Amino acid sequence: GVYGYLHMDSWDLLWSVTAKAALAADLLRPHQMLAIVPGLLAVSRKTTLVRSLRDTFGEAAWGIVPRSFKLPDELDEWGRWVAEHPEQDTGLWMLKNNKQRGTGLRLVRTRDAFSACFESVSRPDLPPGLRLYRWYLAQQYITRPLLIDGRKFGVRVWVLVSDVAPLRLYMYGRGLVLFSSHRYDMEQLSADLEEAEGEGGGRQQDTGRDSSSARAPPPGHVTNYAQNENGEVWSLGQLAAHMGEPAFGKLWSAMCRSAAASFAAALPRCAQVMESVRPPPHACFQFFGLDFLVEEGGRPWLLEVNATPSMKMDEWG
């Protein structure tokens, strides 16, 4: 009974989790504002981000996000691509599900990936004996990230979408550079994967042991802050000083283009949802956290659009 959509006369601005805030979208009064944009789930989930980009840009989507395949729907397409493009296969794939904070990931070799993606998991709300596929997305792993002092890092930037008709978004210039707390070591990764394969980690399909078949990537290969609480954190200014202004300027421009392209890809879905709920004009806005990986040479890869970004609002001052 505490949710805002049940008390429409008690507020001017509703700031709530997406699922609950969405229930107020078609009930808004002219003076009220809502801190979600209906339809932007088209980019704020791992699978919908990939689908929206591919539907909008075709092959060019794989210049924004690493090449990805939805599981299990696109398993055959994934297998054909690997068979037909061996020169483009980095040999490693990151399997993902809908978990957050850097969990719900598994890094596998191409040769093990097609069996690993059939791993399943039970849930307390499911009938006895019923299991679900563990992995929702297979994404090509970027094996040559830009390193600083031997460590991999990710860039978190925050975006405010203030409108979608027309699309208007702002990217906050004071993002964060989040480092892994361990060195990036491909030789150790190879040894870890060999060990996992030797223990049957790449071949288990449905053992009933949820933890044993879902091996987390080695810590040097994950930059999420929740998994690296002792990791170093830089400002974007420090990254600019390290890279040099010309190189950082190109990186920033490329991240801005990727952000704009991603939200533009959501506009068809936004138009459909807005037509259904019909909120007052300019009544909806939303903050997002965008996570980028920077490859050698300074190319950014968008890995995730987070609809519930962690930040203190006074950081926007």
pLDDT in tens, the chain (317 residues): 567 888 899 999 998 888 888 889 989 999 999 999 999 999 999 999 999 999 999 999 999 999 999 988 999 999 999 999 999 998 999 998 876 555 578 888 998 888 888 777 777 776 776 767 778 899 999 999 999 999 999 999 999 999 998 999 999 999 999 998 888 877 766 666 665 555 554 444 443 434 434 566 666 667 764 554 666 899 999 999 999 999 999 999 999 999 999 999 999 999 999 989 889 989 999 999 999 999 999 999 999 999 876 654 344 33
Alpha carbon distance 216, 19 (integer Å): 29
27 Cβ neighbours under 8 A, 6+ residues apart: 5, 8
pTM for the full predicted model: 0.85
Long-range pairs for 174-177: beta carbons < 8 A, 24 or more residues apart: 174/235, 174/236, 174/315, 175/235, 175/236, 176/233, 176/234, 176/235, 176/236, 177/153, 177/233, 177/234, 177/235, 177/236, 177/238, 177/239
Instruction: Output the pLDDT for position 317.
Output: 36
Give Cα 161 to chain centroid, integer Å: 17
Alpha carbon distance 135, 71 (integer Å): 7
Query: The tokens of 187 are what?
Result: 């030789």
Q: Which residue has the tokens 């027309």?
A: 166
Neighbours of 108 (CB within 10 A): 25
* Cα end-to-end span (Å), the chain: 33
Q: How many CA atoms lie within 13 A of 298 on its CB side?
A: 15
DSSP H or E segment with residue 195: helix 186-198
C-alpha pair distances (Å), 174 with each of 158, 240, 261, 296: 8, 11, 21, 22
Instruction: Output the pLDDT for position 116.
Output: 82
Strands 92-96 and 137-140: antiparallel
